Amino acid sequence: MTKLRVHNLAVSIDGLATGEGQSLEAPFGHAGHRLMGWFFPTRAFAAMTGHEAEAAGAGTRGVDDAFAAATNVGIGAEIMGRNKFGPQRGPWHDESWKGWWGDEPPFHTPVIVLTHHPRPDFSLGETTFLFRDAEPAEALEIAREQAGGLDVRLGGGPTVVRAFLEADLVDHLHIVVVPIVLGRGERLWDGLEGLEERFDVESTASPTGVVHYVFSRKAR
C-alpha cells in the first residue's frame, strides 16, 4: 500500500502551526516567516522555486535540507486544503485565481483541493488542480487514483492535517518544532491526545535550533 505523507509542517514549541491574523500579505499571520526560517535557506527550497540550475550551487546541505529534499520524492499527488490554494473563502467569485505559484506550480502532479465549493478542474504547467468536496477517506481515495501507484502528500494547512490524523489516515508525519513561543494562532495538536500510541517517533535536533520529528505509522 502506498503512503500518505506530511512533510515540513512547522509548529512553535507551544504547538501552534500558524499565527493569528492570517491575510493575503501575511499567510502565517503574526508568525511571519519565523516558522519556516529553517526551510528557506536550504538547497531543496531553492530547487522547488524552479531554478534547479541556480540551486545547484546554492543553499544549505545539512539536516534541514535533507528533510526538505524528501518532500517530493516518490509523490504522485497532493491533497491540500482550500486555504492553502488561495485566500478566497466561500463561493468562488473569481475563478481566475489559479494559486499562488505562477505559471509553473511546484507540484508537477495532480493536486486535490478540498473545498465545499467545487469549481472546474484546470491544468497549469505540469500540475492539475481538482476541486473536490470530500471527507478525508474519500479524498485519499481520489488522490490515490491520481497518484499512479506513488505516495500521496498531504500538503496542509494544519486544520486539514489534523482532520486526516483524527481519521487515522496518515502514515508519515514530519513535524518541525521551532523554538519560539508564538502565543496565539492555530493549535496543531488539539484533539489528538494519545497520537503517539499509533506511531513510532524519532527526533533529530538541527544545528539551526529546530527539531525534526518523524512520526511513522506502526504496522497495522
Q: What is the contact surface with its own copies in residues (CB under 8 A)? A: 13-15, 177, 179-184, 187-196, 201-206, 209-211, 213
For residue 125, how many other CB atoms are within 10 A of its CB?
14
Per the CB < 8 A criterion, the answer to whether 30 and 38 are in contact is no
Which lies closer to its own copies via its Cβ, residue 10 or residue 114?
10
The nearer residue to its own copies, 64 or 151, going by C-beta atoms, is: 64
Q: Which letter, b or e, does each residue of 42-59 get, where b requires 16 or more Cβ atoms within 10 Å of its Cβ?
A: bbbbbbbeeeeeebeeeb
> Shortest Cβ distance from residue 12 to its own copies (Å)?
8
Nearest 5 degrees, angle CA 88-CA 38-CA 17?
A: 45
Which residue lies nearer to its own copies by CB, 87 or 191?
Answer: 191
Given the complex with its own copies, which of 19 and 110 has the nearer CB atom?
A: 19
Q: In the bound complex, what is the minimum distance in angstroms from residue 27's beta carbon to its own copies? A: 20
CB of 40 to its own copies, least distance (A): 18
Type of residue at 103 = D
Residue closer to its own copies by CB (options 7, 162) is 162
* Structural contact between residues 198 and 217, judged by C-beta atoms closer than 8 angstroms: yes
Closer residue to its own copies in complex, CB, 72/206: 206
